[in-house]
Amino acid sequence: MQGINFLKGINMIAQVVLETKLEETARAAMVRGMFDLEKQTHARSDLTHSLPLENKEWQIGLITGPSGCGKSTLARALWPESFKPPAPWPEGKSLLDAFPVSLGIKEIVELLSSVGFSSPPAWLRPFETLSTGQQFRATLARLLASALAGAAPTPLVCDEFTSVVDRVVARIGSAALARVVRKSPLKFVACSCHADVIDWLQPDWVYYPGEQRFDWRCLQRRPGIELEIHRTGRQDWTLFAPHHYLSHSLNPSAVCFLARWQGQPVAFSAWLPFVGAGPLARREHRTVCLPDFQGVGIGQALSNFIASLWKGLGYRALSTTTHPGLIASRNRAGPWRLRRAPSLARGNSPLGHATTRLTAGFEYLGPALSPREARELLLAR
């Protein structure tokens, strides 16, 4: 038996009553005898939770605590419509086919990219073939898509949030999700036994059912990500090649750089001399961020840093891309300026793919790295 009552305008009060009939068995009787326990015919749990959710505007909430403290039971009592099981992922079809039919492909691509799942080749694969981290991101994207399409109630509730992924993926994924939710009219509630996501998810409120404690929070900056960037060789491309949206190839003359976070390789960037008239320039060739670290701007930060290196050495830093998410990002205020709107390049373009796909050209106009630092990084191997 389960019940819930509300008091609007003061607190949202959830009185959760769970009662189960117990059957006496031989094993149960033996354990009762071993520990001198009284015979019980029913197990009953009766808890009252007070959440003042009507007192302030909010978008993201977190219910957290150890396993068995009642997180899922409370969330199910408060928002029962949000606990309807989602439709199964289609077998043998791309995960794109699982998104609401009312959404256009551009909207689906934007949602997948916004939660940090920016790998078009992986989008074309069935859900069951993805890594655990990719499945986590895809599930979040579909949950958001259903709500935005009006096919899911709000608040969105994600039970066992980040429980199936490692803690690095959990933190990065939480930050990516929070950024998407904050830009939408949606509300989102996560239920998780992992409190380490708090600083990355940045919820407006946190409730601890085991302690029956509710805390409003002020938004803060998420923890910083300090990248270690150094010059590297082609051998590191092997790790990143499968995740590039366009090609696995790497030009033999590319100058390569590797970014590490907490000792782990997270992003790779390769640059080429620019072939064409005008001042000396360098062109971005390949920049890839590993899937587990996408969604918080690591790839963009690496790209910006290497562009500032070339500028510090007196070169123009240029980039041509066909990725819709990257084009949209660079079109917003930032260090890159659009030099060529999305279009097809001429047939004699050194960018072979640009003659068959829409690409946009950008130039880096941000600050330059000091010439001394730029030379030291470029020559260090």
Confidence of residue 47 (pLDDT cuts 50, 70, 90): low
Confidence of residue 17 (pLDDT cuts 50, 70, 90): low
Q: Does pTM top 0.85 for this prediction?
A: no
Which of 114-118, 190-194, 207-211, 370-374 is least confident?
114-118
Q: What is the pLDDT of residues 299-351, one digit of tens each?
A: 999 999 999 999 999 999 999 988 777 888 888 878 999 998 887 655 545 55
pLDDT in the model for residue 145: 92
Using an 8 Å Cβ cutoff, are 10 and 52 in contact?
A: yes
- Measured distance CA(30)–CA(4) in Å, rounded: 37
Report the share of the chain in percent with pLDDT over 90. 49
Q: What is the pLDDT of residues 83-140, one digit of tens each?
A: 888 889 999 999 999 999 999 998 998 889 888 888 888 899 999 999 888 899 999 9
**226 secondary structure, DSSP code:** -
Q: Enumerate domains of the chain plus CATH numbers.
A: 56-216 (3.40.50.300), 228-379 (3.40.630.30)
Q: Answer with the residue of higher pLDDT: 13 or 76.
A: 76
- Measured distance CA(321)–CA(169) in Å, rounded: 27
pLDDT in the model for residue 16: 62
Distances (CA, A) of 240 to 84, 120, 288, 297, 349: 38, 14, 6, 17, 26
Q: What is the pLDDT of residues 268-302, one digit of tens each?
A: 999 999 877 778 999 999 999 998 898 889 999 99
